[in-house]
């Protein structure tokens, strides 16, 4: 489908009337989030001007009522992702348009200068603890930058129970929660119900379900710079969500699918997202018929060619290929590494 025609009349006269939409690669304005544990390294990846302060998160793709990604290019410039999906669901979601009323994934860059809280996200089994309008949260991390002392905590050591975790502190955390040194290019899968944290200068790409529900088990005794008080914990809710059978979590070993002429590795494959890392110096096909594709450029640059039009791509760019765009091609300039994210068919 090359073109979708539709007329939409809005009650609010301040909204534009969309008469015609042709699919094209969508870029979005970045949404920045101040965090007590954040820093300034997101500027290494996102070229948009950052606000002052400790910026812990850059939301690259978000279809949430409280945080809407706004298109920055083309005929849909100034429109929110949610507005486009509401009016043109098949344009963006294609075969998933009946299943999802909002885009089901949230994509971020995190700058963990200090320590994330030791936290848990709920699963579908914890529906009573998930606020209305929210979802469970499974996520995957791809490490972009790390230092010598950067560290990931993930999972549980053997024979740990809820009473152990109620007494967790800085001195005994290693007895309960395993950890490993964080290194660039590592991929870490965190199923909902997994205890996790990160510390000491880690920048990472986060692919997750469209959810913002977090229960803090422990926050390293820190004081919130805005309130001058400890940040609130949700210890009992966190414990209710923990998968006590999770064991030790280690970085994912990528599944190599193609070696030549491109290197394509599958790094995540779960019911909520499938993620590949592609390293290439030759042109290759991207996108899918009747399903959206998300691209994030890790290294290098290139162009997406669609209908004989070139869309430039460089390090740090996130681009959404709408379902109705179908198959396009990516032409690296020299060599480039990109992340491809898709919604699985369940």
Query: Which pLDDT score is estimated for 226?
Result: 76
Place of tokens 């880690």: 202
In a domain, 5, yes or no: no
In this structure, the answer to whether residues 132 and 197 fall within a common structural domain is yes
In a domain, 250, yes or no: no
Rounded distance between C-alpha atoms, residue 301 and residue 294, angstroms:
16
For 76-98, what is the mean pLDDT?
A: 97
**Which of these three, 209, 241, 273, is where a domain ends?**
241
Give the domain CATH number at 220.
Answer: 2.60.120.10
Rounded distance between C-alpha atoms, residue 115 and residue 224, angstroms:
13
For 260-264, what is the mean pLDDT?
A: 96
Percentage of the chain exceeding pLDDT 90: 90
In a domain, 87, yes or no: yes
In this structure, the answer to whether residues 219 and 192 fall within a common structural domain is yes
In this structure, the answer to whether residues 170 and 36 fall within a common structural domain is yes
Q: Which residue has the higher pLDDT, 255 or 15?
A: 255
For 221-232, what is the mean pLDDT?
A: 86
pLDDT digits (tens, 9 = 90+) for 98-114: 999 999 999 999 999 99
Is 60 exceeded by the pLDDT of residue 230?
A: yes
| Number of structural domains in the chain | 2
In this structure, the answer to whether residues 228 and 283 fall within a common structural domain is no
In this structure, the answer to whether residues 54 and 179 fall within a common structural domain is yes
Residue 346 — very low, low, confident or very high, per pLDDT cuts 50/70/90? confident
Is 50 exceeded by the pLDDT of residue 10?
A: no
**Which of these three, 196, 217, 241, is where a domain ends?**
241
pLDDT digits (tens, 9 = 90+) for 152-177: 999 999 999 999 999 999 999 999 99
pLDDT digits (tens, 9 = 90+) for 239-259: 999 999 999 999 999 999 999
State pTM to two decimals.
0.92
Is 70 exceeded by the pLDDT of residue 1?
A: no
Residue 212 — very low, low, confident or very high, per pLDDT cuts 50/70/90? very high
In this structure, the answer to whether residues 127 and 219 fall within a common structural domain is yes
Per the DSSP assignment, residues forming a β-bridge with 296 are: 318, 339
In this structure, the answer to whether residues 236 and 266 fall within a common structural domain is no
Closest by CA position to 268, among listed 327, 208, 194: 208
Rounded distance between C-alpha atoms, residue 232 and residue 240, angstroms:
17
In this structure, the answer to whether residues 124 and 53 fall within a common structural domain is yes
* Residue ranges making up the domain that contains 273: 255-342
pLDDT digits (tens, 9 = 90+) for 291-300: 999 999 999 9
Query: Which pLDDT score is estimated for 20?
Result: 60
In this structure, the answer to whether residues 228 and 261 fall within a common structural domain is no
Cβ neighbours of residue 162 closer than 8 Å, sequence gap 6 or more? 239, 242, 244
> Is the separation of the CB atoms in 25 and 311 below 8 Å?
yes
Is 70 exceeded by the pLDDT of residue 5?
A: no
Residue 8 — very low, low, confident or very high, per pLDDT cuts 50/70/90? very low
Residue 2 — very low, low, confident or very high, per pLDDT cuts 50/70/90? very low
In a domain, 11, yes or no: no
In a domain, 207, yes or no: yes
Q: Residues for the chain: how many in total?
A: 346
In a domain, 129, yes or no: yes
In a domain, 66, yes or no: yes
pLDDT digits (tens, 9 = 90+) for 281-326: 999 999 999 999 999 999 999 999 999 999 999 999 999 999 999 9
User: In the numeric block, which tokens belong to residue 141?
Assistant: 């991390």
**Which of these three, 208, 241, 274, is where a domain ends?**
241
In this structure, the answer to whether residues 237 and 261 fall within a common structural domain is no
In this structure, the answer to whether residues 102 and 146 fall within a common structural domain is yes
User: In the numeric block, which tokens belong to residue 57?
Assistant: 């998160």
> Is the separation of the CB atoms in 92 and 25 below 8 Å?
no
In this structure, the answer to whether residues 228 and 293 fall within a common structural domain is no
In a domain, 17, yes or no: no
């Amino acid at each position: 489908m090359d073109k979708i025609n539709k007329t939409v009349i809005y009650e609010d006269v301040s909204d534009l009337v969309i008469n015609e939409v042709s699919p094209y690669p969508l870029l979005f304005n970045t949404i920045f989030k101040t965090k007590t544990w954040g820093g300034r390294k997101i500027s290494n990846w996102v070229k948009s001007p950052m606000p002052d302060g400790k910026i812990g998160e850059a939301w690259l793709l978000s279809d949430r009522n409280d945080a809407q990604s706004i298109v920055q290019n083309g005929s849909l410039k100034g429109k929110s992702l949610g507005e486009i999906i509401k009016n043109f669901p098949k344009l963006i979601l294609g075969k998933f348009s009946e299943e999802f009323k909002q885009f089901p994934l949230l994509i971020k860059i995190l700058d963990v200068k200090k320590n994330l809280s030791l936290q848990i996200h709920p699963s579908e089994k914890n529906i009573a603890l998930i606020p209305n309008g929210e979802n469970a949260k499974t996520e995957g991390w791809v490490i972009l930058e790390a230092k010598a002392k950067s560290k990931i905590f993930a999972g549980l050591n053997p024979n740990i129970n809820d009473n152990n975790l109620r007494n967790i502190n800085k001195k005994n955390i290693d007895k309960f929660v395993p950890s490993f040194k964080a290194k660039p290019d590592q991929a870490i899968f965190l199923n909902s119900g997994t205890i996790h944290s990160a510390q000491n200068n880690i920048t990472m790409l986060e692919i997750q379900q469209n959810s913002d529900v977090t229960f803090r088990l422990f926050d390293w005794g820190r004081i919130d710079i805005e309130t001058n008080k400890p940040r609130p914990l949700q210890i009992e809710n966190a414990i209710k969500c923990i998968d006590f059978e999770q064991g030790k979590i280690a970085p994912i070993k990528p599944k190599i699918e193609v070696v030549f002429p491109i290197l394509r590795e599958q790094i995540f494959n779960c019911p909520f997202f499938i993620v590949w890392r592609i390293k290439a110096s030759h042109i290759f096909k991207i996108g899918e018929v009747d399903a959206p594709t998300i691209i994030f450029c890790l290294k290098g640059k290139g162009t997406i060619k669609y209908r004989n039009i070139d869309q430039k791509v460089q390090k740090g760019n996130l681009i959404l290929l709408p379902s109705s765009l179908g198959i396009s091609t990516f032409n690296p300039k020299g060599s480039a590494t990109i992340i491809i994210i898709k919604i699985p068919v369940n």
